[in-house]
């Protein structure tokens, strides 16, 4: 039987709880499919800093590079906020992305009909939303040089090379070919040179995809359009920071940031993580929503392991559980149904995986 090696990084805050639930669901999947998973846990983030003085120990990088895929929870917390930038938990994650070369981050936004009443946006605006944000992940202002800070002045630089834009644009167009064949590229080309190059390069890539229709939108307008009429979008292609901001905004289309998964691909090994943070304020309370992480595990099955039927099994189980009325606290604002804890939600999804 096939056996895949999965690197597990739980991280900080709620990371531990949500990843445990994803493992529970993955184990249930294995019982019903023809492969096995072997897990090895690594440290990253604040917990790694506390033990090794380094938010990304070498052992983690080496272990991740040797694995078939990486499942990651979340990092960060107030406790480490005053550290120098390179020691902060976030630096660990950014370095890992760079080391792995995962330059494309896929963030699908699908609205569950069962949760239409959870969002603060009107149901008729939301019903049927199916969009994919393709966020550039290893370049842009997150990584640009020079960067500097003293007490009087600080600077960061937004840099993109043509090659960096081209490769992520190809991921967006390839994705669009498997979807509704529309790419909307988001930039700020009316102000930034880096966005002008972005736009020109995306236009060039589009020439190889005659079936895909390409449009461009300024990021400020895109932020508005996303809540005004999210159904107009199929694939949104954008840079690192714009994608970070727009995907948090888009999570409110689904009703909770606890629902959005992501896949970081482009390197040899894929990294799969929920889009949300470590939520230290609710860590350990057993109320975090594990669905974003469980859906990230489904993306891992699909993109890194090629186990499509297993991925569908997980996604259908989640849908079934929501249909049956189970809700973690974040989804329970309006007419709470069956409220469950983090681990109850994981268990119910795991149980349903077998029934699909
Ligand atoms: C995300 C997160 C990270 C990012 C942080 C934790 C560095 O917000 O994955 O969206 O900004 O990329
Ligand atoms: Mg973010």
The answer to whether 142 is a known catalytic residue is yes
The answer to whether 188 is a known catalytic residue is yes
Q: Is 90 in the pocket of ligand 1 (CB under 6 A)?
A: yes
Q: Is 244 in the pocket of ligand 1 (CB under 6 A)?
A: yes
Question: Could you tell me if 220 and 157 lie in one domain?
Answer: yes
Question: Could you tell me if 195 and 279 lie in one domain?
Answer: no
The answer to whether 248 is a known catalytic residue is yes
Is the pLDDT at 62 greater than 80, yes or no? yes
| CA distance to 14, 174, 175, 236, 309, per residue, from 169 (Å) | 33, 9, 10, 10, 28
Cβ density class 244-282: b for 16+ within 10 Å, e for less: bebbeebbbbbbbbbbbbbbbbbbebbbbbbbbbbbbeb
Residue 320 lies in a domain: yes
Question: Could you tell me if 171 and 297 lie in one domain?
Answer: no
CA 289 to chain centre: 15
Q: Is 275 in the pocket of ligand 1 (CB under 6 A)?
A: yes
Burial of 163 (0-12, 13-18, 19+ CB in 10 A): exposed
Question: Could you tell me if 170 and 217 lie in one domain?
Answer: yes
The answer to whether 220 is a known catalytic residue is yes
| Percent of the chain at pLDDT exceeding 70 | 99
Question: Could you tell me if 100 and 152 lie in one domain?
Answer: no
Q: Which CATH number belongs to the domain containing residue 204 in this structure? A: 3.40.718.10
User: 230 is in which domain, residue-wise?
Assistant: 119-254
Q: Which of 208, 223, 254 is the last residue of a domain?
A: 254
Residue having the nearest C-alpha atom to atom 11 of ligand 1: 244
Q: Which pLDDT band holds residue 337 (cuts at 50, 70, 90)?
A: confident
How many residues in total does the chain contain?
A: 356
Q: Is 248 in the pocket of ligand 1 (CB under 6 A)?
A: no
Q: What is the pLDDT of residues 1-26, one digit of tens each?
A: 999 999 999 999 999 999 999 999 99
Q: What is the pLDDT of residues 285-321, one digit of tens each?
A: 999 999 999 999 999 999 999 999 999 999 999 999 9
Residue 113 lies in a domain: no
Say how many domains are in the chain.
2
Residue 114 lies in a domain: no
Residue 141 lies in a domain: yes
Question: Could you tell me if 238 and 274 lie in one domain?
Answer: no
Cα of 102 vs centre of ligand 1, distance in Å, is 14
Question: Could you tell me if 246 and 123 lie in one domain?
Answer: yes
Q: Which of 221, 254, 287 is the last residue of a domain?
A: 254
Sheet (strand 213-218) strand order: 35-42, 2-11, 69-74, 270-272, 263-265, 104-110, 130-136, 235-238, 182-187, 213-218
């Amino acid at each position: 039987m096939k056996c895949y090696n999965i690197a597990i990084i739980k991280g900080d805050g709620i990371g531990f709880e949500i990843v445990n639930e994803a493992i529970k669901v993955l184990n249930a999947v294995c019982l019903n499919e023809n492969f096995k998973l072997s897990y090895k846990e690594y440290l990253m983030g604040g917990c790694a800093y506390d033990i090794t003085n380094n938010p990304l120990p070498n052992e983690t990088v080496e272990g991740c590079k040797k694995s078939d895929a990486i499942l990651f929870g979340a990092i960060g917390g107030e406790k480490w906020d005053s550290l120098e930038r390179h020691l902060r938990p976030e630096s660990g994650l950014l370095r890992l992305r760079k080391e792995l070369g995962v330059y494309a981050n896929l963030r699908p936004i699908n609205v569950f009909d069962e949760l239409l009443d959870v969002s603060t946006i009107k149901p008729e605006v939301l019903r049927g939303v199916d969009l994919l944000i393709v966020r550039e992940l290893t370049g842009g202002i997150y990584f640009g040089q020079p960067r500097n800070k003293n007490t009087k002045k600080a600077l960061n630089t937004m840099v993109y090379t043509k090659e960096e834009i081209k490769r992520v644009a190809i991921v967006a167009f390839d994705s669009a070919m498997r979807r509704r064949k529309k790419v909307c590229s988001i930039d700020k080309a009316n102000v930034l040179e880096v966005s002008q190059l972005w736009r020109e390069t995306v236009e060039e890539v589009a020439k190889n995809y005659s079936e895909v229709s390409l449009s461009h939108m300024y990021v400020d307008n895109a932020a508005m359009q996303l809540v005004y009429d999210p159904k107009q979008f199929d694939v949104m292609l954008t840079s690192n920071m714009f994608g970070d901001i727009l995907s948090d905004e888009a999570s409110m289309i689904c009703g909770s940031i606890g629902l959005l998964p992501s896949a970081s691909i482009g390197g040899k090994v894929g990294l799969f993580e929920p889009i949300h943070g470590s939520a230290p304020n609710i860590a350990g309370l057993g109320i975090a929503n594990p669905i974003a992480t469980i859906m990230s595990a489904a993306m891992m099955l699909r993109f890194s392991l090629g186990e499509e039927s297993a991925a569908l099994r997980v996604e259908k189980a989640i849908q079934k559980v929501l249909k049956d009325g189970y809700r973690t606290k974040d989804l329970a604002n309006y007419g709470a149904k069956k409220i469950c804890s983090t681990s109850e939600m994981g268990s119910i999804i795991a149980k349903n995986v077998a029934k699909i």
